[in-house]
Amino acid sequence: MTLDDIIAFTAGLDGVLTLRPAPGDGSPEIAWGDVFLYYAPDGVLPKGQPFATVVTKDYPGDTASRLDRPGAFRVNIAAGRDAADHPTEGPDDTVLAHPVYGGWLAVTNPGPRTSGALHELLRAAHDRARSRHERRA
């Protein structure tokens, strides 16, 4: 799977706002090249966290996934309690607990082993974000 495959899949879910920070848009430089996925049926950036992100580089204090390799990226999914059921270390193309954030899952360089699970996790995170939005409305 590629970063564009992830974006295309989430674009098929209702109400998804995709942010792709880039030079000149006012976003912090560290976020350039990453992707932030929100449930925002009105197209307005909501308060709070996205339901998923795709990061393309190591962040300070978050280097376990070795995203400094050419073409490497990691999909992060807000999973809630389910994240505790996953190991914290493993190879690429494996669903793991996020290396830094509790309640999040991560897949570095998703591929054939995780594509089905990743789609299910993204749908579930999207559904939770939609439910939160509806409760607040």
Spatial separation of the C-alpha atoms in residues 36 and 15, rounded to whole Å = 14
- pLDDT on residue 84: 83
- As given in the structure block, the two tokens for residue 70 are 């050419």
pTM (two decimals): 0.95
Contacts of 48-55 spanning 24+ positions with Cβ under 8 A: 48/132, 49/78, 50/19, 50/78, 51/77, 51/78, 51/122, 51/125, 51/126, 51/128, 51/129, 52/10, 52/76, 52/77, 52/78, 52/122, 52/125, 52/126, 54/3, 54/6, 54/7
Average per-residue pLDDT in the chain? Answer: 95
* Percent helix, percent strand, percent coil in the chain, to nearest 5: 30, 20, 50
For residues 117-136, give the mean pLDDT. Answer: 96
Where are the chain's structural domains? 3-136
Contact 8, 54 (CB under 8 A): no
- pLDDT on residue 88: 86
- pLDDT on residue 137: 78
Q: Is the pLDDT of residue 82 over 90?
A: no
